Amino acid sequence: MCTRKRDIIEFYNCYFVTTTFNSWLHLLMDERFYKIIIESLKFCIEKYKCSLIAYVLMPNHIHLILFYNDKPEVSGFMRDFKKYTSVKIRQLLQCEEQNGIVEKLKYEKAGQKYKVWQDRFDAVIIRHKNVLITKMKYIHNNPVKNGLVEKAEDWNYSSAGFYVTEKEMYIPVTHAWKII
């Protein structure tokens, strides 16, 4: 069976990105920690001229769907995002005297003292509309699957609410149908 052209996302500039905190630690403990992630995402979206199609911020990992209007720069985006958030999260943990958690983040290698994020991230090119829809459902269902909320749109740190109400979120979201 042949795919129809209208089902294919042009230019392959759409990515499903996942990154996880070191040792799967639950570092997003309250609003202040989420705010660090949100600020950094806003900055990187602006800097790298991309659109956020869907997202979920979980206590121990995040999922994003990014669409680049021009040349995709996922590695630069994630490098800047992780560098900024690593410093800010560690500083907040130290201010809060969360010494047990800070101790778990200690990492002495290549001049680095702490490791907030796992080294790598996953970035999968989304080439087809059906894959985009599947990934969006997966992202939005994460908080439900993990018992954080009963309905996906009730999780404050997700774009699920945007797709139900079309109200502005903490991070500006571009509706998926605008890219396909």
Q: How far apart are CA 95 and CA 91, in angstroms?
A: 6
pTM, rounded to two decimals: 0.89
- Contact partners, residue 29, CB within 8 Å, separation at least 6: 59
Residue with tokens 């290698």: 109
Residue 81 token pair: 């995002």
Helix boundaries (H) for the chain: 31-47, 74-95, 99-105, 129-145, 160-165
Q: Output the pLDDT for position 96.
A: 80
Number of neighbours of residue 105 by Cβ within 10 angstroms: 22
Of 60, 86, 85, the closest CA to residue 142 belongs to: 60
Q: Output the pLDDT for position 166.
A: 84
Per-domain boundaries in the chain:
5-178
Q: Output the pLDDT for position 21.
A: 96
Q: Output the pLDDT for position 9.
A: 53
Q: Output the pLDDT for position 69.
A: 86
Query: What letter does residue 6 receive in the DSSP assignment?
Result: G
Of 147, 143, 170, 173, the closest CA to residue 58 belongs to: 143
Residue 53 token pair: 């199609």
- Give the CATH H-level superfamily of domain 5-178: Transposase IS200-like (3.30.70.1290)
Q: Which residues of the chain have pLDDT under 50?
A: 1
Q: Output the pLDDT for position 10.
A: 54
Give the model confidence (pLDDT) of 78-129 as tens digits. Answer: 999 999 999 999 999 888 877 788 888 877 777 778 889 999 999 999 999 9
